[in-house]
Amino acid sequence: MENKQATLSIILVVILGCIIMALVEILIVPNYFTKSLIKICIFLLLPLIVCIKQRAISFKALFKGSKKSIFFALIFGIVVYVFILGAYFILGPFFDFSMVTTNLENNLGVTKENFLFVALYITSVNSLLEEFFFRGFSFLSLKQISSRKAAYIFSALAFAIYHVAIMNNWFTPPLFILLIVSLFIAGLLFNYLNERFNNIYVSWIVHMSANLAINTVGFILFGIIKIRGCIRMKFFKFHSMQSLFSIYELIFL
């Protein structure tokens, strides 16, 4: 009975958290600072309340890492960083999301002047917050008191659905579906990493590496990192390389 109540509590809190954040995205549309404060309250405080009330749920094991897991995460993170930047330079010319930086400025208040602070926050704090909520709380904690298969599917599905409101009206239906499926698969991968090492450090480090790579793209698009014009025009056509940074806004902001 206790496990059933704890399972129901986790499921309801995750669903409630996603709904609240969707309403924030669609109806309130706050700047990034306000949105971050709301997200911290939802993704951190709600799980802690459940943990206090449900003795079957504990977060201690989530933060017990080993040297082996950290080393693996660092190596995997480097691979992810290189892969994302490589994809940016190779696939960028095939996409055009030229309004991304404008939307960042108009909708979230993210500008060239404050992007460094935002990038640091996204890379470290925001990634940990999402890993704690979607992997630690809605996967590892749920898996301990429920079925493994259900925890895998629920966590990955919640992670994907969470981004639906963020991606509202941004893409054509085929690309929208592709992104949702990709997010679901990414959620399954993160779950596997956490299950293998039984903590959230591995997925957090990999998540940080992905954020760092796309933040690098952001620095380029905002003109903070300068790229030689001849390279930009001849080889990469940087004026149309907005795709990954768009996905970055959708996934990590």
Q: What is the pLDDT of residues 81-98, one digit of tens each?
A: 999 888 878 876 666 545
**Beta carbons of 14 and 59 less than 8 angstroms apart:** no
Q: Which residues contact 123 (CB under 8 A, 6 or more apart)?
A: 208, 211, 212, 215
pLDDT at 176: 72
The per-residue pLDDT for range 137-156, each reduced to its tens digit, is 999 999 988 889 999 999 99
- Concatenating the DSSP letter of every residue in 122-136 gives IIIIIHHHHIIIIII
Is the per-residue pLDDT at 221 higher than 80?
Answer: no
Give the pLDDT band (50/70/90) at residue 125.
very high
State the CB neighbour count (10 A cutoff) for residue 230.
8
The per-residue pLDDT for range 93-117, each reduced to its tens digit, is 666 545 556 666 666 677 777 888 8
For 97, 150, 164, 167, 176, the CA distances from 170, given in Å and listed in that order, are 9, 30, 10, 5, 8
Residue 179, SS3 per DSSP? helix
Helices (DSSP H) in the chain: which residue ranges? 2-23, 32-40, 46-53, 67-91, 100-108, 115-121, 127-130, 142-145, 148-162, 173-197, 201-221, 229-231, 243-252
Burial degree of 184 (CB within 10 A; 0-12, 13-18, 19+): middle
Count, residues in the chain: 253
**Beta carbons of 251 and 183 less than 8 angstroms apart:** yes
| Token digits of residue 29 | 């549309």
